[in-house]
Amino acid sequence: MTGLASPEWGGFDPARTRGGGWREMRHSFVTAIRLGWKMEANWTDPFLFLIYSVAKPLASALILVVMLDVISGGAKPEYRAFVIVGSALWSFVLSGVSGLAWMILDDRERYRMLKYIYVSPSDFLAVVFGRGVARIGVGAMGAAITLAVGVTFLNVPFDVGRIDWPLLATGMILGVTSILAIGLIMAAICMQTRQDSWSYPEAAAGALFLVSGVVFPLSVLPAAVQGVGLLSPLTWWIEGVRLALFPGGLSAVGGPGSLFGQLTGTAAPTSSEIVLVLLGTGAVATLAAVAVFRTSDRRAKDRGLFDQTTGS
Partner 1 sequence: MTARADGRRTLDRPGRTAFVYRPTASPQEAAAWTRRQVAMTNLRTVVGRAYPRIIGLRRDKSWVFFEVLLPFLATSAFVFVYRALQAPPQYIGFVVLGGAMTAFWLNVIWMMAQQLWWEKSQGNLELYFAAPMHIMAVLFGMAFGGFVMSSTRAAAVLVIATTVYNVSFSVDQWVLLIGVFLLTLGALYGLGMMLASLFLMWGREAWHLTQLLVEPVYFVSGLNFPIARLGVLGSVAISILPLAVGLDAMRQLAFAGAAYPIGTPSPAIEALILGAMVVVFLVLARWTLLVLERLARSEGRLSVRWQ
CA distances from 73 to 61, 82, 146, 291 (A): 16, 16, 21, 48
- To partner 1, the closest distance from the beta carbon of 100 in angstroms equals 16
- To partner 1, the closest distance from the beta carbon of 3 in angstroms equals 32
> How far is it, in rounded angstroms, from Cα 60 to Cα 78?
18
CB 1 within 8 A of CB 8: yes
> How far is it, in rounded angstroms, from Cα 284 to Cα 189?
18
Between 174 and 268, whose beta carbon lies closer to partner 1? 268
Between 130 and 139, whose beta carbon lies closer to partner 1? 139
Residue numbers of the site for partner 1 (CB under 8 A)?
43-44, 52, 55-57, 59-60, 62-64, 66-72, 76, 79, 109-111, 193-194, 196-200, 203-204, 206-207, 209-210, 214-217, 220-221, 309, 311-312
**What's the burial of 22, exposed, middle or buried (CB within 10 Å: 0-12/13-18/19+)?**
exposed
- To partner 1, the closest distance from the beta carbon of 286 in angstroms equals 22
CB 281 within 8 A of CB 236: yes
Between 31 and 308, whose beta carbon lies closer to partner 1? 308
- Long-range (24+ apart) CB contacts under 8 A made by 19-22 are 19/121, 19/123
- To partner 1, the closest distance from the beta carbon of 252 in angstroms equals 10
Between 271 and 308, whose beta carbon lies closer to partner 1? 308
- To partner 1, the closest distance from the beta carbon of 26 in angstroms equals 29
> How far is it, in rounded angstroms, from Cα 267 to Cα 255?
5
Between 67 and 291, whose beta carbon lies closer to partner 1? 67
Helix axis angle, 21-41 relative to 124-153, nearest 10°? 50
Between 68 and 268, whose beta carbon lies closer to partner 1? 68
> How far is it, in rounded angstroms, from Cα 292 to Cα 285?
10
- To partner 1, the closest distance from the beta carbon of 25 in angstroms equals 28
Between 174 and 230, whose beta carbon lies closer to partner 1? 230
> How far is it, in rounded angstroms, from Cα 202 to Cα 183?
11
- To partner 1, the closest distance from the beta carbon of 37 in angstroms equals 14
Residue 264 corresponds to which amino acid?
A: T
In the chain, which ranges are E strands?
Answer: none
The radius of gyration of the chain's CA atoms, rounded to the nearest angstrom, is 22
